[in-house]
Amino acid sequence: MCKNCSGFTFVEALVSLAGLLVITMTLLPLLTQIMVERHNVALKNEAVQLLDAEINRDVQIDKIVTVGEVTYAISWTELGNGMKKACARWNDDMNRTVERCEYVKK
């Protein structure tokens, strides 16, 4: 131990601050991406709930449903052999068009 050591020097403080800034600048974009993808998963779960509600209805028609700021387009397609396909389409936070489909036998 030094007899006259009274704490960190200015250079040591700058080096540690630079290290902290590098770590922060590396992790901040990752954190932002994680938050956007979490919201996209929430949008997907909402679409699945809408599809389940539409499948359980007696009337199966194409429609547009707006929940909050997101617009879901629900469409039905006849596949034959008594099978139908219900699809929900929307734009996520990255402005990508996403489609989720479920098959129904009626």
Query: Which alpha helices (DSSP H) does the chain contain, by range?
Result: 10-55
In sequence order, what are the residues at sequence separation of 6 or more whose Cβ sits closer than 8 angstroms to the Cβ of residue 31? Answer: none
Sequence spans of domains, the chain: 10-105
pLDDT (tens, 9 = 90+) of the chain, 106 residues, equals 566 677 778 888 899 999 999 999 999 999 999 999 999 999 999 999 999 998 888 788 899 999 989 999 999 999 888 889 999 999 998 899 999 999 988 6
Closest CA relative to residue 75, chosen from 58, 90, 87, 59 = 87
pTM: 0.74
